[in-house]
Structure 1
Amino acid sequence: MTTPTIDIELSAPVNLRDLGGIPIEGGILREGLALRADDLSVITDEDAQALVDGGLAAVIDLRTNDEAALTGRGPLAGYRVAYHHLPLMESISAGMPDGDAPVIEHVGMGEMYARMVESAAPQLASALGIIALAPGATAFHCAAGRDRTGVLAAVLLLALGATDDDIVTDYARTSPNMPAILERTKPTIGALMARLGFDLDAMAAVTISEEPMDIAMHTMLARLRERHGDVLAPLRAAGLGEGTISRLRERALA
């Protein structure tokens, strides 16, 4: 069954940033290779034009099928920008905690990220290949630009030789943006959750642990090393080759 569309409220992204400037093997990641973002399907026409003028060549959409069906590609569909839909979860309910008025714990989030790397390794490997071969900048996004986007950013930075500390620092930069992110995503995520049968009043009672959110990324990296030795092992098993990693590193330092 197709998810019904809604009246879409366009707005500027509030968690968009270029990964340029992060130390990687051999130097500093240049600007204009990879951008991470919150939902790019509901940006304004002006923001779409600015991204294209800045060199955007490809978009990787990490949202679920239901999310993508709700809003489509948005204004960027009107430009010559390649679009790749690589959902990292089957349903957004996979990221919802259980229980009455639960607290979202960052350790639990990190464990979910680790499972995501394992279960969505083919999509993540494909995403790295797209970034390696795109003729310009690639932007990747989910809804908030934190969880699924943070997982792809982490494996990209690992492939480029960044340290854990720098990966965690980038991930944690989203923390101050969370109030604006929640406000921006409320119209679309709220409508989708209602149509999927979730109790929005119960969801409103969910609280987030006051511990630093960087715990989640530290946990993901630790769990994957405990289970695989190499964080990128699931992606390598899914087809990520040294040729793609070499191409990424060449482009990142050019």
Structure 2
Amino acid sequence: MIGNRDLSWDGCVNVRDLGGLGRVKPRAVVRMEAPTSLSEAGWASAWAYGVRTVVDLRDPDESEPDHAPRPAGITTVNAPLDPVGTPFYERWQKIDSLASPLYFPALLAEHPEPVVTAVRAIANAEPGCVVFHCASGKDRTGLLALVLLTLAGAAPEEIVADYLLTFDRMKQRHDELGFRDQLTAVAELLEARGTTFEASLTSTITSLTMPDYLLANGLSDAELAALRTRLTS
């Protein structure tokens, strides 16, 4: 582990343990970009860290082959978080391409089912550390991290700081691809809507009542208990 939470797994650059935020224990859940670029040594590091389940938040159309084989003992669960093909998705593609915190409260309100499905995948995973990811590990991953961390009692400023880390972690990759600086681009998008990273995320966090949100949208009491045990005991 680099620092307290950053993990060095060869082939990926945006890997971090949520342990230490709120009441989350280390080696319970790890967020990252798509692990498809992990090398054999990178997968060996994930296995040695205790990873036994990977939850993929991407749409099936985004799937790509792994650069190196996953250890046989790792289970991959697909739990797409974006409601592709819905009016919601089409609307938000035009607003922010679902690439900023702007869409978080709308998704939580209008499409709670995929959120709860992803949470359930973590709650029901086999013993061991759970990794969850999307493509770059920023927004879909950030939304699920926000939900888990809010449940675990993390302060809004902790959740905001964790979200923002991805811009730094992924900057070199984005530069190599010729992308405009993403921190600046998203900040400008938020500013045009009269908000900031901090204000937008904090508003979402403080309006999310836990565990009521999860229970009202289909998570069972037993699954909630399992999730709390995984995250915090």
TM over 0.5: yes
TM-score, with length taken from structure 2: 0.75
Query: 2: distance between equivalents of 1:250 and 1:142?
Result: 24
1:248 aligns with 2:223: no
1:165 aligns with 2:157: yes
Q: Which amino acid aligns with 2:196?
A: I
Structure 1 stretches lacking a partner, 5+ long: 1-10, 99-103, 191-202
Query: 1: distance between equivalents of 2:45 and 2:165?
Result: 23
Contact 1:33 1:137 in 2 (8 A): yes
Contact 2:14 2:33 in 1 (8 A): yes
Residue 233 (structure 1) shift: 5.5
Q: Secondary structure at the match of 1:140?
A: strand
Seq. identity, %: 26
Q: RMSD between aligned alpha carbons? A: 3.6
The 1:236–1:105 alpha-carbon spacing in structure 2 relative to 1, beyond 3 Å, is same
Query: 2: distance between equivalents of 1:143 and 1:163?
Result: 26
1:60-139 paired onto structure 2 within 5 Å: 60-68=55-63, 71-72=64-65, 75-89=68-82, 90=84, 96-97=93-94, 109-134=100-125, 135-139=127-131
1:208 aligns with 2:191: no
Higher alpha-carbon Rg? 1
Contact 2:25 2:231 in 1 (8 A): yes
Contact 1:16 1:38 in 2 (8 A): yes
TM-score, with length taken from structure 1: 0.69
1:215-226 paired onto structure 2 within 5 Å: 215-216=196-197, 218-222=199-203
The 1:235–1:167 alpha-carbon spacing in structure 2 relative to 1, beyond 3 Å, is same
Q: Which has the higher contact order (CA 8 A, sep 6+)?
A: 1
Contact 1:15 1:38 in 2 (8 A): yes
Contact 2:174 2:180 in 1 (8 A): no
Question: Which residue in 2 is equivalent to 1:198?
Answer: none
Residue 63 (structure 1) shift: 1.0
Q: Which amino acid aligns with 1:178?
A: M
Query: 1: distance between equivalents of 2:44 and 2:111?
Result: 31
